Amino acid sequence: MTQTLDASTAVRDRVENWLAGFEAALTAGDADGVAALFAATSFWRDLVAFTWNLTTVENRDGVADLVRATAEATGAHGFHLTEEPAEADGVTEAWIAFETAVGRGRGHLRLTDEGAWTLLTTLYELKGHEEPHGTQRPKGVEHGVRRGRLSWEEAREAENAAMGGSAQPYVVVVGGGQGGIALGARLRQLGVPHVVVDRHPRPGDQWRSRYKSLCLHDPVWYDHLPYLPFPANWPVFAPKDKIGDWLEMYTRVMEINYWSSTTCRSASYDADAHEWTVVLDRDGEEVVLHPKQLVLATGMSGKPNVPVIPGQDRFRGEQHHSSQHPGPDAYAGKRVVVIGSNNSAHDICAALWEQGVDVTMVQRSSTHIVRSDSLMDLGMGDLYSERAVANGITTQKADMIFASIPYRIMHEFQKPIYDKIRERDAEFYRRLEQAGFWLDFGDDESGLFMKYLRRGSGYYIDVGASELVANGDVKLVHGAVRELTEDAVVLEDGTSLPADLVVYATGYGSMNGWAADIISQEVADAVGKVWGLGSDTAKDPGPWEGEQRNMWKPTRQEGLWFHGGNLHQSRHYSLYLALQLKARCEGIPTPVHRLAETHHTA
């Protein structure tokens, strides 16, 4: 027992000594001294706290560069442990907290005999602008009597009526899906005047309007929105309409300034006034807003990719992109060709087969498949599951653990997981490949998460459709499409596939395509490609970026931001985007370190 206590004390002392040395060197502006505390191969990931950016620097040279550029202005101090550190396999892990001149932060440290291997530092609140919760929660009522006092409902109506007239929003968020709604909730809590606009009649319609079999493939523990988690009886995988209703409810109870039936027609930036002119069509009425900041929250993807194929004009059947697919009901007894073999293609094929449709999947390139049960257990179970909750892993802690792994080495953490999945589901994969399905596990065998982070495509989480492919219920063919005839899809090898409907499950472009439509092609090109890490793998061209391109951070266009991703990312990264916007709203200096270069325009 005494030896265990001595060991624990030694581990704690080692971490505290490192933190003391780190703080002393930061305070002295000793960049080389800070760098010496890191291992030769090391990573410091900072989310806003030091850099007013989302940045990862590598090795001692990168650490020294970050310190020289940021330490004096940041004024970081008060580094301390928030719980007992743990040691395993020669790596000590520690949860830490600290303050900066303008805010408070938390982070994570991995320490080896050589020094810090990974360091995560994040800002979570601004001093003097704390969110009103806990002891700071609003009273909600004004006791006493006063003439002319407005009720809560009257005050909300007055705020909405003034916005765009006597009052201007500081931020306009274009896109009112999960990303825009999560950011709107953050902005409301921080007191940032905002409007979230969306073209649909109701919040949540982005989900309601999709094909009826659509549901979340990620589990409930991964998908909570800020402030208001799903209830304990929420299903593990939520159906699309249930998610739509939750988003609508959430928008109201979180008091988000949400304008439905509103389309953004155009936006232009006045560099002298540091202000946008945003022209909206609000339910048939033109409204012009002048925000300082514009956020495109249109998802993690851009406009649908609809291939141009000879003969599309003469095809007599129906054809549409998967984003416009209404569901299978109208196609019973029909012949359908689905071009593509990723998530949407599989979901649509399965739903069509259930309605008695003769359905064929056209696979043009290999796809990563992972069974849902295996992914939930081996891939996500330690962080996002009932098992994780029982082990004390809250959603916030899970998010921070995931964020603490630098993208450069994340594949090394993922590969062993997918090795186990391949072993567990070997017979499943054998049957798929025997059926002719082109299967892959990513360029470096690292599986789904890395494909998602690098390119946002190329995978399917199997909830049943793969069985239909494996046993031939969904027919499978391969190759590029050469042309459409009046009643068929013809492949390059001459194979003719009779069709009454063609579904293009062909993915989406980069988010900067929306910037081109709303602002200008010049701005879209200046900002460049959105999403991807620069891993130099398929559909993620180099050079290495270290973070998601242009997401949740300053871009090459002043006052323009991108926000999106899955529910997990919308929840987690909306905090850092909201803090950046709040700081600018309050006039807090925000010197950006390492504004990303533009390497790819699309």
Any idea which of 155-164, 235-244, 461-470, 563-572 has the lowest mean pLDDT? 155-164
Q: What's the pLDDT at 263? A: 97
Query: How far is it, in rounded angstroms, from Cα 175 to Cα 378?
Result: 34
Mean pLDDT of 287-313: 91
- Average pLDDT on 224-253 reads 96
User: What are 409-451's pLDDT values in tens digits?
Assistant: 999 999 999 999 999 999 999 999 999 999 999 999 999 999 9
Could you give the percent of the chain with pLDDT greater than 70? 99
At 2, the pLDDT band (50, 70, 90 cuts) reads low
Q: What is the pLDDT of residue 300?
A: 62
Question: Average pLDDT in the 572-594 region?
Answer: 98
pLDDT given at position 214: 81
Q: What is the CATH number of domain 318-504?
A: 3.50.50.60
pLDDT at 602: 83
Strand arrangement of the beta sheet that strand 285-289 belongs to: 262-270, 275-282, 285-289
d(CA 599, CA 118): 27
Confidence of residue 299 (pLDDT cuts 50, 70, 90): confident
Q: Retrieve residue 292's tokens.
A: 């300082």
pLDDT digits over 357-366, tens only? 999 999 999 9
Q: 3-class SS at 318?
A: strand
Give the start-to-end residue ranges of the domains of the chain.
1-126, 159-303+510-534+545-586, 318-504
Question: 268 pLDDT exceeds 90?
Answer: yes
Q: What would the pLDDT profile of 55-95 be if each residue is shown by its tens digit?
A: 999 999 999 999 999 999 999 999 999 999 999 999 999 99
Q: Nearest Cα to 517, choosing from 290, 305, 267?
A: 267
Question: What is the pLDDT at residue 177?
Answer: 94
Report how many helices (DSSP H) and strands (DSSP E) the chain contains, helices first: 18, 25
User: Looking at residues 228-237, what average pLDDT do you find?
Assistant: 96
Tens digits of per-residue pLDDT, 84-131? 999 999 999 999 999 999 999 999 999 999 999 999 999 999 999 999
- Note the pLDDT of residue 5: 59
483: Cβ contacts below 8 Å, ≥ 6 apart? 309, 310, 311, 490
Q: What is the mean pLDDT of residues 314-341?
A: 95
pLDDT at 29 over 80: yes
% of residues, the chain, pLDDT over 90: 88
| Fold of the 1-126 domain | Nuclear Transport Factor 2; Chain: A, (3.10.450)
Average pLDDT for residues 236-254, to the nearest whole number?
96
* Same fold for the pair 159-303+510-534+545-586 and 318-504: yes
Rounded Cα–Cα distance for residues 447 and 571 (Å) = 23
For all residues of the chain together, what is the average pLDDT?
A: 95
What is the model's pLDDT at position 149?
86
Is residue 142 predicted with pLDDT exceeding 90?
no
pLDDT score, position 382 = 96
**Long-range contacts made by residues 154-157, C-beta under 8 angstroms, separation at least 24?**
156/255
Query: Averaged over 567-591, what is the pLDDT?
Result: 97
- Give the span between the Cα atoms of 546 and 569, in whole angstroms: 17
Architecture of the domain made up of 159-303+510-534+545-586: 3-Layer(bba) Sandwich (3.50)
Distance of CA 416 to the CA centre of its chain: 24
pLDDT digits (tens, 9 = 90+) for 535-576: 999 999 999 999 999 999 999 999 999 999 999 999 999 999
Indicate whether 1 pLDDT > 60. Answer: no
Amino acid residing at 526: A
What's the rounded Cα separation, in Å, for the pair 49 and 61? 20
C-alpha to C-alpha distance for 483 and 157, rounded to whole angstroms: 55
Q: What is the pLDDT of residue 3?
A: 56
